[in-house]
C-alpha cells in the first residue's frame, strides 16, 4: 500500500545506530499446525522495560525527519525546532505528547501542510513494544501511521505497519511488507482474532499491498478509536514471529497498565506473522526504527479520497483549509519497549 515506498531507499535515514542483536542464536524456523497451542507468546518469560518513550523522552529519542514524503503526501515534515516553535510537537502538562498537523495556516490548493514524522534513534531486532495512544489523527485527507521499518533496504529488511489507515476509515490495517518470499501460513493464522485480508507479505515497488490484517470490533481506528479514549497496540517480536494485540481503552490488561506485561496472558492476538518455512520472519525483519507520521493525501489517502462518498471535492483543495485539521493529532501516552529478562 505504500506505493512507491521504494523511493524511500534513496533517502537518508538519519539514525540507524543502536541496538543490534546477534542473529547467531536464532532458533530454527518452526512448523505450525492446527493442533499447536494457539498463542505463541512464551509463558514464563519476564519482560523488563528497556526504553520508556514518554513525555519529553519521546521527543528526545526520536529524530524529526524533514525530507519530502516518499509517498507524495501533501505534507511538509518539519524539523524539531520548527515543530516546537509552531506547536506541532508538544509535551502537555500531563506528560502526553501531542503531534499535530498545522491547523492555523490558510494555504492554496496543492500546497503542502506542515506535519511531523518521528523516527526512533534506536533500531531493534526484537522486543515487546507497547504503544499507548489516547488519540490518533482522523478525518478526510489524513494518512496516519505508527510503524516500524528498515529504511535502508526496503522491502528486504521488512516493514510492519501497526496502525495505518486513511480518511474516514473505521478499520485499522496491520500490515507486513517483506522482500521475497513471505506468505503467511499455519494454524496461528486461523486462530488470530483479526481478519487476514491477504497472506502475501512479499512486496515490491509495483506490488506493495503486503499482508494486511483488520482487527475485530469497531474501535481500532480513527474516530471510534478516539471516542473510547484510544487504546493500546502491543506487539511482540521474537524468534517465533510477530504478534500484534489491540486493546481499546476499556480493555487494556492490568499487567500492561502496571508495567509488568505478560503477553502469554493476553489471549489470542489480533494479527500474527508467525515464523514458518513459508515466511521466515527471522530473515525478513531486522534493524527496524519506530516511526510515527501523519501524511495528507498522497498515494493512498489522495487516491482513496472520494471512496465512500463522505470526503468530497479534491484532497488538494481540502488540505488548503486549516480548520479541517483541528483533530488530526496523535496524543501519545507512551511507547515502551520491553526485552526478555535473562
Q: Which residues does the annotation mark as catalytic?
A: 159, 164
Q: Which position among 95, 229, 253, 340 is part of the footprint of ligand NAG (CB under 6 A)?
A: 95
Cβ proximity to ligand NAG, 76 vs 280, nearer residue: 76
Cβ proximity to ligand NAG, 167 vs 240, nearer residue: 167
Q: Does 2 bind ligand NAG (CB under 6 A)?
A: yes
Q: Which residues, 240 to 279, sit near ligand NAG by CB under 6 A? A: 259
| DSSP labels, 277-339 | TTB-HHHH--SBEEEEEEEESIIIIITTTTGGGSS-S-HHHHHT-GGGGTT--EEEEEEEEEE
CA distance 196 to 190: 9
Total residues contacting ligand NAG by CB under 6 A comes to 23
Asked if residues 108 and 3 have their Cβ atoms less than 8 Å apart, the reply is no
Q: CB under 6 A: which stretch of 17-25, 51-59, 189-197, 314-322 binds ligand NAG? A: 51-59
Q: Does 54 bind ligand NAG (CB under 6 A)?
A: yes
List, in sequence order, every residue forming a beta bridge with 29; answer none if it has no partner. none
| Residue that has been written with the C-alpha cell 502469554 in this structure | 264
Helix-then-strand count for the chain, H and E: 7, 18
What does residue 283 show for φ and ψ, rounded to 5 degrees? -95, -35
What does residue 229 show for φ and ψ, rounded to 5 degrees? 85, 20
CA distance 58 to 99: 11
Question: Within 10 Å of residue 168's Cβ, how many Cβ atoms?
Answer: 17
Q: CB under 6 A: which stretch of 139-147, 263-271, 274-282, 316-324 binds ligand NAG? A: 139-147
Q: Does 289 bind ligand NAG (CB under 6 A)?
A: no
Q: Which residues, 308 to 327, sit near ligand NAG by CB under 6 A? A: none
Q: Does 70 bind ligand NAG (CB under 6 A)?
A: yes
CA distance 99 to 330: 5
Q: Does 218 bind ligand NAG (CB under 6 A)?
A: yes
Q: Which position among 30, 38, 45, 55 is part of the footprint of ligand NAG (CB under 6 A)?
A: 55
Q: Does 169 bind ligand NAG (CB under 6 A)?
A: no
Binding residues for ligand NAG, rule: CB under 6 A, are 2, 5, 8, 49, 52, 54-55, 57, 69-71, 73, 95, 117, 143-145, 218, 224, 259, 293-295
Amino acid at each position: 500500500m505504500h506505493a512507491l515506498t521504494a523511493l524511500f531507499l534513496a533517502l537518508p535515514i538519519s539514525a540507524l545506530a543502536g541496538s543490534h542483536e546477534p542473529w547467531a542464536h536464532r532458533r530454527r524456523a518452526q512448523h505450525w499446525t492446527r493442533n499447536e497451542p494457539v498463542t505463541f507468546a512464551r509463558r514464563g518469560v519476564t519482560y523488563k522495560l528497556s526504553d520508556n518513550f514518554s513525555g519529553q523522552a519521546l521527543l528526545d529519542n526520536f529524530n524529526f525527519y524533514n525530507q519530502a514524503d516518499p509517498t507524495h503526501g501533501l505534507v511538509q515534515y518539519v524539523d524539531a525546532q520548527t515543530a516546537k516553535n509552531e506547536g506541532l510537537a508538544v509535551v502537555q502538562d500531563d506528560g502526553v505528547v501531542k503531534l499535530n498537523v498545522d491547523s492555523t495556516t490558510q494555504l492554496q490548493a496543492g500546497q503542502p501542510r506542515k506535519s511531523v514524522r518521528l523516527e526512533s534513534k534506536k533500531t531493534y531486532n526484537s522486543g515487546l513494544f507497547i504503544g499507548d495512544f489516547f488519540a490518533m489523527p482522523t478525518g478526510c485527507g489524513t494518512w496516519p501511521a505508527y510503524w516500524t521499518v528498515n529504511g535502508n533496504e526496503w522491502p528486504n529488511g521488512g516493514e510492519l505497519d501497526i496502525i495505518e489507515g486513511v480518511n474516514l476509515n473505521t478499520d485499522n490495517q496491520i500490515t507486513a511488507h517483506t522482500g521475497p518470499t513471505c506468505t503467511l501460513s499455519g494454524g496461528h493464522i486461523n486462530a488470530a482474532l483479526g481478519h487476514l485480508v491477504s497472506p502475501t507479505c512479499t512486496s515490491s515497488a509495483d506490488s506493495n499491498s503486503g499482508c494486511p490484517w483488520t482487527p475485530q470490533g469497531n474501535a481500532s481506528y480513527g474516530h471510534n478509536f478516539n471516542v473510547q479514549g484510544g487504546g493500546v497496540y502491543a506487539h511482540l517480536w521474537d524468534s517465533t514471529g510477530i504478534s500484534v494485540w489491540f486493546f481499546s481503552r476499556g480493555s487494556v490488561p492490568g499487567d500492561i497498565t502496571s508495567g509488568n506485561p505478560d503477553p502469554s496472558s493476553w489471549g489470542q492476538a489480533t494479527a500474527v506473522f508467525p515464523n514458518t518455512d513459508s515466511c521466515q520472519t527471522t530473515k525478513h525483519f531486522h534493524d527496524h526504527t519506530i516511526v510515527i507520521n501523519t501524511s495528507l493525501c498522497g498515494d493512498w489517502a489522495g487516491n482513496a479520497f472520494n471512496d465512500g462518498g463522505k470526503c468530497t471535492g479534491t484532497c488538494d483543495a481540502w488540505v488548503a483549509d486549516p480548520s479541517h485539521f483541528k483533530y488530526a493529532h496523535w496524543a501519545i501516552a507512551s511507547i515502551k519497549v520491553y526485552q526478555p529478562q535473562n
